[in-house]
Every structure is written in C-alpha cells, then in structure tokens.
Amino acid sequence: MEYILSTRRQTKQILGVLLLIVFPLACHSIRGPRRVVLLNTTESQINIEWSPVAGASQYKVRATALKTYTVHSSEPYEWKYTDVTHAELLGLTVGSLYNISVWAETKQGPTNATSIVAWTEVGDPDAPEQVEIVSRNGPTMLIQLHPGTSSKGPVTGYRIVAFEKSSLMAFSEDRLMKHSEAAEAGIPFYLAAELTTEWANRTFTLGDGRTYGGAFNAPLNTEEDYIPIQGVASSLNGITKYTYSPVKPEQEAGAEEHVMTGEEPGGKPDKSSAVVFLLSVAIGVLGFLLFASLVVYVLLRRHYSRKKRRSEEMILQVHCPPDVEENAQLCGLFRQIPRPQLLVRDATLGQGQFGPVRVGVAHCSGKEMPVSVQRCPAQWMLGDRDRRLLLAEIEGMVRLGLHPNVAEFVGGCEDGDVLHLVVEHPLTSLRGLLLTSRHGAEGRVCSFEEARLIDLAIGIARGMGHLAQRGVHHGQLSARSVAVVDSFVPKVTNFGLARYTPLGKKLNFARWLAPECMRSSQSTTKTDVWSFGVLLWEIFTLGGTPYVDVRTTEVPPRVAKGLRLNHPRGVSDNMFQLMLQCWQTDSDERPQFDGLVESLQTLLSTENPIKFTHVAGYTYERFDPLGDEM
C-alpha cells in the first residue's frame, strides 16, 4: 500500500515537471496575422492582404499547390515582404488550387501561420484537332469528335459549330450564337450543340434536328457545304473558356482540275476561255503602260529635285523640325523614369485613352510603388490632334502636383517608339475594403472602428477639393474610383491618365451622376459633389450598391423625378442631412468640398455620426457586382 502511494506521489511530481516545461512552450507560440483576405485572382496571380502583426520585422508568404491540371509538379513558392500587408503572388500555375500561408518574423521568433486556399483562374484548353467528316447525307453530316485536353483546367464539355463553307466571313467566337439568332443576324455559323464529356471519341450527327444543351441542331441546307468545328470547354469556379478546332476548308479535286486545265469535268471545253484570253491581253497592256509611267515619273523627279535641293537645305538650316521642339516640350513636363526602374507586368488592367494599361512597379527613392502603365505611341508617331490631346492630359496631371489623397502622376518612360505613362495604382480599392469589413468579429457589423469610415470620407473630400482647386472635374467618382493605402489613407484615382476601362467591361456610372448630367455629358465640381454624397452612402453601407433594386437604365429618370437613396442604418440624422445637401436639385445649393471637410470634422468631434453597435438585427445593403456595368 505504501509502495502504491509512493508511486502516485512520484507520478504527480513528474506530471508537474512536464507541465512546467510544456506550458511555457505552448504560451511561447506567437499569434500570426488575424486574417488573410483574398483580393482577386488571374490565371497566374493571386492578390492577398493580411492583418498586421505587432513587432513584425518582415512577413513571409508561401504558396503550395494542392491541386493542379498540369503534368509538371509544382514546388512551393515563397516571398518576403517588408513594411507591407499585401502581396501580388506572381508566376503561379494556371487553374490550380493553392494553400496560401502568411506569417511574420519578430524578435521573439516566427509567428504561427495563417492560411487560406485559393484557385488561380482557369486557362484556355488545348486546341482540338480538325474535325473529321465521316459522311454527308442531305441535311445531315456524320462527324468524328476528338477528346479534348488541357493543362490549365478541367475539360468539362464540348461545342459543335456549323460553318457555311462558301462564306467569306471568318469564324469568331465573339459572334457565335444559336441557330435562330445567327439566321436573323446573317451570321454564317451557329452553335449546333453543347455536349458533355461523354461525347469524346464518339461520332455526332450534325443537322439531326434535335436539341443538345439548349442549342438546336438545325437540319443543314442541302445546297450548302459546311465545315464542322469542335470546341473544347474548360470551366472552373464559374469561369468558362473555350478553344476551337482550326478552320481549314479543303478544295474539291474537281474544282482544282477545272482551274488548272481550263476544262469542265468530263473533258467539255470551257466556254469562258475566250474571256480569259482577252483579260490576259488587257492586263499585259496595262502593265506596260504602268511601267512606262513610272519611268517618266522618276526622270521628272530627278530633274526638279536638283533645282529645289539648295533652297530646301537653306530652310532646314533656319527652322528646327516641329517634332523636335514638341518632343522637348513634352519631355520637359514630367519626370523621366529610367527604363531599368520601371517593371511592366503582363497583366492588363484595361484600355486607356491612348493605349492599353498594364500593371507595373516603379522604383522611386529606393521604394517600390505599384503603378499603372499606359502604353502609347511616342508623340512623334501621333497625328496633330492626338499629340495635342496627349500634351493636354500630361499638362493637366502635372498641374495637379502632389496631394496625399490623390493618385500621383509618377512620370513617363521613353522606350524606342513607345511612351510609358506611369500613374500610382494602389492595390486595395475602397470598395473591396468596405466589402471585406463586413466579415468582422462576432457581434460587430464592421471589422474596424466606425470613426475610420469618417476619416475615409474626410480624406476623399480633401482630395476632391484639391482637384476642384486645380480645375479638374472627376465625372466618375464612386467607391470603385478610390484606392486605400497605408491603412485608411484614401486616394482619388480613375481620372485623367489614371482612367481606364477595365478589360472586358463597359462601365456605367448612372447611379452616381447628378440629374443635370443626364441632359449634358459635362461634369462640374457640383456634379462631383452629388457623386460624393452617393459615395458617402456607399461608405456608410459598407459597399452597398446605390438603388440596387432599380435597373441602371431606370435610375436617371427616377432620380430626376425625386428618387433619393435611403437613410443608411446606424447613421445619425445630422450625417444624413449632410448627404441630402449633396443631392440638392439646384446645384448652387450644394456645398463645396472645403465645406464638406469642415462639416465632417465637426460631426466627428461633436457626436458619434455612425453607431452600428446600436442597431438591432442589422442587415447589410445588397451589393451587385454588375451595378456599375452596362
């Protein structure tokens, strides 16, 4: 009995010692970033941001492929970042699932990693082989399908297209439509079938009059020859991409023989042979006359050029070519960025006024700045009108100078016959920040303090006031047109050389425009004030879409008749009255931006203009991602 009690005492002592060792080790574990947020993805890039960690000297990010469709194995990628809480993870494999882990290095050691999983966007599948025609029987055609392949995503289906062989129009996926729509539009090709992957390596009857996947496989015109086209579909996470077999119509042997011999099949003489002979003679005569005219022209030009050469040389010595003067004037306007200090990435943001706009990084004063790079022809390659427009836009951006709440015009970079126009392009948009703030801690409507929203509004008003003082009218102010840097410092963008149309989109800002903009396309400071009031509504609803239950085409006439946005939940009456002042029908009664800054500061110092925590059963205003698109 004494032995058992002694053993129990020893066991307790050992457990106590183990607790003394293990417990401090467990407590030593350092918490990593509280959250990691996925911003957006492309085929080879994932953009993320994360919560800051106190005392972090640097952050490390690792991307490990969990699932991929490529045959090559993918090693984990790792990046290091200093003084930033966001990252562009470049060079990833297309159509792959990654585990993204973020941790910080501190004086106490590395923190725990916080992870999310994210897909890169699906890529185009491999092009299938040319469709093999097995037989043709009146209104139907039997064809052999080939299995689709793709290393950039899964093969999820097939398309069959009927293309009229006699057409001079080239096949275009953008104009592909179903049979009835194509017939009405006069398009010589149409979608005949949407098939599942079970059809791989099988034969298909084109023109059998049945419906496949919602596409009517219409009987073929017996008087028309057709080229069958096979498409391969690859769908992943709601995005579908197609690739089609090549269109290479082959000439019939009989037709080729007719052209080469000048006889109809069967040995009958060609009745048009006389016409061909006459045309040949006429072409020979015209060719001789053209050659003689060219000789006379060269002799005359040599004769007169000797007389004018001396006077022309004198003129050239007196006058400098206008292109040289304008080029010097243009280059003197902005900072010249050396080409090695500008990295232009392959990712295209959209189309600017003078050319495509791509993502880039500029090295300024030892720091990397995310920028947008508009590629336009060198000014000496532009016509007079485009050259003047370019000069005016650059002058306008330079005239703005620097302001903490306005996107900076960094400068230009000459690269041969290309001029790169570089504008600051922060990675975090205000709209994205507001929408992600909805995922706050338990019991909170917003993930950050309500006063931060007022700080954002004040910063935007200051930036817009700076534009107004410089005579610049924005015309498209919304949460999409504002970026956020350095934790809640807003920057007004999407104006002048910073404006571009996103790739594949047509934007429509009718929900943000003042009534007078419906009658005239001209923007003024007072129309920007109206848009600022709508932007306040977006901020206080954490990214809600204005008039979300109204069609975009119906918004302008209803606003003109008095429609206004509702009182946001949790917003004080005084704050809503300030918003209503921005929406006065008479533009003269709307406040100036300087007055708006003062009013917002007063509200912030005298009351709590936003109280989300006092709203029982709070429900978010609906967000429509297509609300600002046509």
Return the higher-pLDDT residue of 510 and 307: 510
Chain centroid to CA 280: how far?
Answer: 55
Is there a single domain that holds both residue 81 and residue 212?
no
Residue 237 domain flag: yes
User: Which of 425, 531, 435, 529 shows the shortest CA–CA distance to 485?
Assistant: 425
Mean pLDDT (the chain, rounded): 83
Provide the β-strand partners of residue 413: 420
CB 467 within 8 A of CB 497: no
Per-residue confidence (pLDDT) for residue 303, from 0 to 100 = 57
CB 604 within 8 A of CB 454: yes
Task: Specify the range with the lowest mean pLDDT, choosing from 112-121, 323-332, 373-382.
Answer: 323-332
Return the higher-pLDDT residue of 487 and 359: 359
Q: Which pTM value belongs to this model?
A: 0.51
Q: Which helix (H) or strand (E) holds 136?
A: strand 132-137
User: Which of 423, 408, 231, 403 shows the shortest CA–CA distance to 342?
Assistant: 423
* Res 18 pLDDT > 60: no
Residue 437 makes CB contacts below 8 A (sequence gap 6+) with 446, 447, 448, 542, 543
Is there a single domain that holds both residue 446 and residue 573?
yes
Query: Is residue 440 very low, low, confident or very high in pLDDT (cuts 50, 70, 90)?
Result: low
Inter-CA distances, 10 with 2, 14, 17, 266, Å: 12, 6, 11, 113
* Res 386 pLDDT > 90: no
* Res 82 pLDDT > 90: no
Residue 623 domain flag: no
| Residue 255, helix vs strand vs coil | helix
Q: Which helix (H) or strand (E) holds 60?
A: strand 58-67
Per-residue confidence (pLDDT) for residue 88, from 0 to 100 = 86
Query: Is residue 531 very low, low, confident or very high in pLDDT (cuts 50, 70, 90)?
Result: very high
CA separation for the pair 444, 246 (Å, rounded): 56
Per-residue confidence (pLDDT) for residue 595, from 0 to 100 = 95
Instruction: Quote the number of domains for the chain.
Output: 4
Is there a single domain that holds both residue 509 and residue 465?
yes
Query: Is residue 325 very low, low, confident or very high in pLDDT (cuts 50, 70, 90)?
Result: low
Report residue 203 as tokens.
Answer: 């034969």
Is there a single domain that holds both residue 471 and residue 368?
no
Is there a single domain that holds both residue 437 and residue 572?
yes
Is there a single domain that holds both residue 414 and residue 435?
no
End residue of a domain, out of 92, 119, 146: 119
Per-residue confidence (pLDDT) for residue 351, from 0 to 100 = 92
Is there a single domain that holds both residue 475 and residue 580?
yes
Is there a single domain that holds both residue 420 and residue 458?
no
Q: Which domain holds residue 184?
A: 132-244
* Res 535 pLDDT > 60: yes
Query: Is residue 258 very low, low, confident or very high in pLDDT (cuts 50, 70, 90)?
Result: very low
| Residue 592, helix vs strand vs coil | coil
Task: Specify the range with the lowest mean pLDDT, choosing from 8-17, 316-325, 579-588.
Answer: 316-325
Return the higher-pLDDT residue of 37 and 258: 37
Is there a single domain that holds both residue 93 and residue 230?
no
Per-residue confidence (pLDDT) for residue 305, from 0 to 100 = 52
User: Which of 616, 614, 628 shows the shortest CA–CA distance to 552?
Assistant: 628
Residue 557 domain flag: yes
* Res 172 pLDDT > 60: yes
- Average pLDDT in the 284-302 region? 72
Per-residue confidence (pLDDT) for residue 287, from 0 to 100 = 75
- Average pLDDT in the 171-200 region? 88
Is there a single domain that holds both residue 444 and residue 558?
yes
CB 487 within 8 A of CB 428: no
Per-residue confidence (pLDDT) for residue 4, from 0 to 100 = 40
Is there a single domain that holds both residue 510 and residue 387?
no
Residue 149 makes CB contacts below 8 A (sequence gap 6+) with 125, 126, 155, 232
